[in-house]
Amino acid sequence: MSENMKTPILSVVDLKTTFLTNDGPVEAVHNVSFDIFESEVLGFVGESGAGKSQVFMSIMGILASNGRASGSALFKGEEILNLPLEKLNKIRGHHLSMIFQDPMTSLNPYLTISKQMSEVLVYHKGLSWSDAEKKSLEMLDCVKIPEAKMRLKSYPHELSGGMRQRVMIAMSLLCEPDILIADEPTTALDVTVQAQILDLMLELKKDFKTAIIMITHDLGVVAQICDRVHVMYGGRIVEKGDVNDIFYNPFHPYTQGLLNSTPRMDQNVQESLVAIPGNPPSLGQLSKGCSFQDRCDFCMPKCLEERPDLKITTSGGLAACHLI
Amino acid sequence: MSSHLNPLLHVENLSVDFEVGRKSLFSKPKLLHAITDVSFNLMPGETLGIVGESGCGKSTLGRAILNLVKISGGKVVLDGVDLGALSETELRKSRKDMQMIFQDPLASLNPRLNIKQIISEPLEIFFKELSKADIEKRVLEMMDVVGLSRSYINRYPHEFSGGQCQRIGIARAMIVRPKLLICDEAVSALDVSIQAQIVNLLMDLQKEFKTSIIFISHNLSVVRHISHRILVLYLGRMAELAEFSELYNHAHHPYTRALISAVPTPDPKISKEKKSTILMGDIPSPINPPSGCPFRTRCPKAQDLCAQVRPEFKDHGSNHFVACHFPD
């Protein structure tokens, strides 16, 4: 692929995020490295507690107060990890935007849609309030909100869940960011609305050349919109690859297990699902060796002793497994 | 399922209305029609999946069957007994036969009781004659069945993960060997790998105990997996009811078709080629439902007739029921 020739917009190297808790430090993200390029959709997949959200919370500087991030995140060549607040505020919201799972709690219930949208442009781009409102209206049309003019005067509680998520997306695109980080944007929505939102995101990617990072646990969503996929487990990336490789030639036993346990609509047999036995590990008590060891069918003595690093697989992707 | 068998559960023209938005003490309250005219039979050992978007009344239907909300019309007959005609005490006794599992596994367990107390509580209520030793024996057996280690018996809910809490909830429901189990979004809060474990457990339990299950979920792929028949609700009314493969392969109602096509397939080649019919807009308010067919405001095939006459819910052959003037 020609991707290797291009320079990435965001390049993350050895990101480590630790939370100081009463039970000692908990490492939620361990040595995560990845690049993202213009107008691609990069998926981050994993179960709850895998650390996929914390990666981007660290980059955006919105970790909980007991969280510490180290490593490096270069945005267009400039270090943005742990920047002082006033510098970070010039970048996030403007060049990097994030949307969250619950559109109700991420909108301010006291402000009209118009106010909270225009605010972004007034602060980041220095537009006047009336110009900002005009631009907001255009953006609401862009995300296909019916009767956008009327909606500008509404408060968040007057909108449905799908509508609120559209407002969130519109708001995050106002400054035409280089990267849109979407943290489970459709998980709280109905499938019909999810289909509308995913469609919209793909369209926007085409129109604005925005790179999209899609954090999700839903492999269906990944298959539909992602170009490349990173699978996370126990705070680490365990497999990286092109979306087709991940789905058709998954290497890591966890990726395989995840695919097998996903119920599918296009298979006509009704039989029991292939579940992964056991539970995801607690990040506070990770054992020595591979974090997937106690749930893995292929566990060998080496897996108990040594933690595997990412290595090149036969299909050209990367996987962290001793089977390679 | 042979038709000469008597159904375990018979639901007839069930309706539930809620009073909302009363302007003053004396004005007439507005009615929100959460469920209107729902009728179906459930056979022993059968699983009926109930699907629909949020706000379509699927949870209310589950609660109405258990008499947990006030029924405004119609009746629910469980094993030949009309639940609406029972007194409070009789109804409480009959709850032994119908149990429920909820969406949030941790919130549905009392944090101050240990696992033994939680699982044994239904036994203490319904089987007062059992000795303490008997109860403990049954609790331990049930823990084996649902895959909880016996050593957990004195632990408290907060010590468990979501999947394990859901196993505790299932053990509590199944220990009285109910005839009917209602699962309201029972796997929605769980991770995919754990969700598969719980779905398999429910299917195993059904085989072992011949329980009838009503499986309410917004996740069509999970419902498809576990259900024998599937009921699609829209705005509190029945849109379509059919055997699972019939519904997924030959859906007649435009709403069902849109719902199925909106589910993303976990296969990049198929899902990128698939042209899904995307439904525009949101589900209308159940306080002022559209005239005629409730789905007509979002339906790609809607015509004048749909606004005037509500389509009847009728059989289109091989027990495939649809409420649509222009079925596919």
Q: Which of A207, A226, A245 marks a domain boundary?
A: A226
Q: Which of B190, B211, B227 marks a domain boundary?
A: B227
Nearest to B192 among A162, A244, A262 (CB): A262
Q: What is the pLDDT of residue A246?
A: 94
Q: Are strands B321-323 and B237-243 parallel, antiparallel or unpaired?
A: antiparallel
> How many CA atoms within 13 Å lie on the side-chain side of A27?
16
Residues of chain B with C-beta less than 8 angstroms from the C-beta of A247: 266-268
For residue A4, pLDDT beyond 80 = no
Q: What is the pLDDT of residue A44?
A: 96
Does ipTM exceed 0.90? no
In total, how many domains does chain A have?
Answer: 2
Nearest to B271 among A162, A224, A276 (CB): A224
For residue A2, pLDDT beyond 70 = no
Q: Taking residues B32-48, what's their average pLDDT?
A: 94
The dihedral of CA A275, A276, A277, A282: what is its sign? negative
Tell whether A281 and A137 lie within a shared domain: no
> How many CA atoms within 13 Å lie on the side-chain side of A78?
8
Backbone angles phi, psi at B105, to 5 degrees: -65, -35
- Within an 8 Å CB–CB cutoff, is residue A277 touching chain B? yes
Tell whether A264 and A171 lie within a shared domain: no
- Taking alpha carbons only, the member of A246, A186, A255 closest to residue A216 is A186
Which residue range is the domain that position A323 belongs to? 254-324
| Residue range B182-210, pLDDT digits in tens | 999 999 888 888 899 999 999 999 999 99
In total, how many domains does chain B have?
Answer: 2
Percentage of chain A with pLDDT > 70?
97
| Residue range A280-313, pLDDT digits in tens | 888 877 878 999 998 999 999 999 999 999 999 8
The answer as to whether A242 is a domain residue is no
Residue B190's DSSP bridge partners are none
Q: How many residues are there in chain A? A: 324
Tell whether B52 and B172 lie within a shared domain: yes
CA dist., res. A63 & res. A224, Å (int): 30
Residues of chain B with C-beta less than 8 angstroms from the C-beta of A266: 265, 267, 270
CATH of the domain at B186: 3.40.50.300
For residue B113, pLDDT beyond 90 = yes
CATH of the domain at A181: 3.40.50.300
Q: What is the pLDDT of residue A176?
A: 87
Tell whether B215 and B93 lie within a shared domain: yes
Tell whether A150 and A277 lie within a shared domain: no
Instruction: Decide if B268 and A243 are in contact by the 8 Å CB cutoff.
Output: yes
Tell whether B54 and B203 lie within a shared domain: yes
Shortest distance between the Cα of B59 and any Cα of chain A, in A, equals: 15
- Taking alpha carbons only, the member of B65, B87, B58, B50 closest to residue B8 is B65
CA dist., res. A34 & res. A323, Å (int): 23
Tell whether A209 and A266 lie within a shared domain: no
Confidence of residue B4 (pLDDT cuts 50, 70, 90): low
CA-based angle B234:B239:B244, to the nearest 5?
110
The answer as to whether B73 is a domain residue is no
**Contacting residues for B61 by C-beta, under 8 A, at least 6 apart:** B14, B16, B35, B38, B50, B216, B233
The residue of chain B with its CA nearest to that of A259 is B266
Shortest distance between the Cα of A257 and any Cα of chain B, in A, equals: 8
Instruction: Decide if A196 and B245 are in contact by the 8 Å CB cutoff.
Output: no
Q: What is the pLDDT of residue A269?
A: 59
Q: How many A/B residue pairs have CB atoms within 8 Å?
A: 138
Tell whether B151 and B282 lie within a shared domain: no
The answer as to whether B18 is a domain residue is no
Instruction: Decide if A195 and B278 are in contact by the 8 Å CB cutoff.
Output: yes
The answer as to whether A244 is a domain residue is no
Helical packing angle, B162-174 and B192-209, nearest 10°: 10
Shortest distance between the Cα of A83 and any Cα of chain B, in A, equals: 34
For residue B6, pLDDT beyond 70 = yes
Residues of chain A with C-beta less than 8 angstroms from the C-beta of B152: none
Chain A residues 189-218 within an 8 A CB cutoff of chain B: 190-196, 198-199, 217-218
Residue B17's DSSP bridge partners are B33
Tell whether B54 and B197 lie within a shared domain: yes
CA dist., res. B310 & res. B307, Å (int): 7
The three-class DSSP label of residue A74 is: strand
Q: Which of A188-202, A260-274, B84-98 has the highest mean pLDDT?
A: B84-98
Instruction: Decide if B221 and A262 are in contact by the 8 Å CB cutoff.
Output: yes
Chain A residues 230-249 within an 8 A CB cutoff of chain B: 243-244, 247
Residues of chain B with C-beta less than 8 angstroms from the C-beta of A190: 53-54, 218
Written in H, E and C, the secondary structure of B240-273 is EEEEHHHHHHCCCCHHHHHHHHHCCCCCHHHHHH
The answer as to whether B322 is a domain residue is yes
Tell whether B152 and B291 lie within a shared domain: no
Q: What Å distances lie between residue B218 and B99, B111, B229, B294, B297, CA to CA?
A: 20, 28, 15, 19, 21
| Residue range A95-154, pLDDT digits in tens | 999 998 887 788 999 999 999 999 999 999 999 999 999 999 998 988 888 888 989 999
Helical packing angle, B192-209 and A253-261, nearest 10°: 50
Cα dihedral: A84, A87, A88, A93 (round 10): 160
Q: Taking residues A217-231, what's their average pLDDT?
A: 94
Tell whether B104 and B201 lie within a shared domain: yes
Residues of chain A with C-beta less than 8 angstroms from the C-beta of B225: 263, 270, 273
For residue B276, pLDDT beyond 80 = no
Q: Which residue has the higher pLDDT, A27 or A160?
A: A27
The residue of chain A with its CA nearest to that of B274 is A224
Tell whether A40 and A167 lie within a shared domain: yes
Instruction: Decide if A273 and B200 are in contact by the 8 Å CB cutoff.
Output: yes
CA-based angle B28:B31:B34, to the nearest 5?
165
Tell whether B127 and B270 lie within a shared domain: no
Cα B204 to chain centroid distance, Å, stands at 18
Tell whether A161 and A305 lie within a shared domain: no
Tell whether B291 and B179 lie within a shared domain: no
Tell whether B164 and B274 lie within a shared domain: no
CA-based angle A175:A90:A28, to the nearest 5?
100
The answer as to whether A231 is a domain residue is no
Instruction: Decide if B266 and A257 are in contact by the 8 Å CB cutoff.
Output: no
Q: What is the pLDDT of residue B310?
A: 93
Nearest to A192 among B221, B258, B266 (CB): B258
Instruction: Decide if B196 and A162 are in contact by the 8 Å CB cutoff.
Output: no
Instruction: Decide if B271 and A266 are in contact by the 8 Å CB cutoff.
Output: no
Q: What is the pLDDT of residue A237?
A: 96
Nearest to A223 among B193, B199, B267 (CB): B267
CA-based angle B107:B108:B111, to the nearest 5?
65
Q: What is the pLDDT of residue A7?
A: 87
Q: Which of B194, B227, B260 marks a domain boundary?
A: B227
The residue of chain B with its CA nearest to that of A162 is B282
Chain A residues 11-50 within an 8 A CB cutoff of chain B: 47-48
Q: Are strands A318-320 and A236-242 parallel, antiparallel or unpaired?
A: antiparallel
Shortest distance between the Cα of A87 and any Cα of chain B, in A, equals: 37
The dihedral of CA B110, B112, B114, B117: what is its sign? negative
DSSP run (H or E) holding A194: helix A191-208
Q: Taking residues A41-57, what's their average pLDDT?
A: 92
Q: What is the pLDDT of residue A271?
A: 66
Which residue range is the domain that position B282 belongs to? 252-328
CA dist., res. B221 & res. B263, Å (int): 8
Mutation to test the B interface, candidates A165, A201, A224, most B Cβ within 10 Å? A224
CA dist., res. A224 & res. B266, Å (int): 8
Strand order in the sheet with B313-315: B98-101, B180-184, B212-216, B47-51, B229-234, B237-243, B321-323, B313-315
CB atoms within 10 A of CB B124: 12
Q: Taking residues B68-83, what's their average pLDDT?
A: 93
Nearest to A266 among B199, B225, B270 (CB): B270
Q: Are strands B180-184 and B98-101 parallel, antiparallel or unpaired?
A: parallel
Q: Are A32 and A15 in contact (CB under 8 A)?
A: yes
Shortest distance between the Cα of A282 and any Cα of chain B, in A, equals: 10
Q: What is the pLDDT of residue A268?
A: 60
Tell whether B174 and B310 lie within a shared domain: no
The residue of chain A with its CA nearest to that of B220 is A265
Tell whether A147 and A296 lie within a shared domain: no
Residues of chain A with C-beta less than 8 angstroms from the C-beta of B161: 279-280
Nearest to A223 among B197, B268, B279 (CB): B268
Q: Taking residues A249-262, what's their average pLDDT?
A: 92
For residue B37, pLDDT beyond 90 = yes
CA dist., res. A293 & res. A106, Å (int): 37
Return mean pLDDT, chain A. Answer: 89
Q: What is the pLDDT of residue A1?
A: 44
The answer as to whether B189 is a domain residue is yes
Tell whether A75 and A183 lie within a shared domain: yes
Range with the lowest mean pLDDT among A176-180, A287-291, B122-126?
A: A287-291
Tell whether A81 and A200 lie within a shared domain: yes
Nearest to B161 among A160, A272, A279 (CB): A279
Tell whether A54 and A174 lie within a shared domain: yes
Tell whether A274 and A178 lie within a shared domain: no
Range with the lowest mean pLDDT among A48-52, A143-147, A228-232, B214-218?
A: A143-147
Tell whether B185 and B284 lie within a shared domain: no
In one letter, which amino acid is B291? S
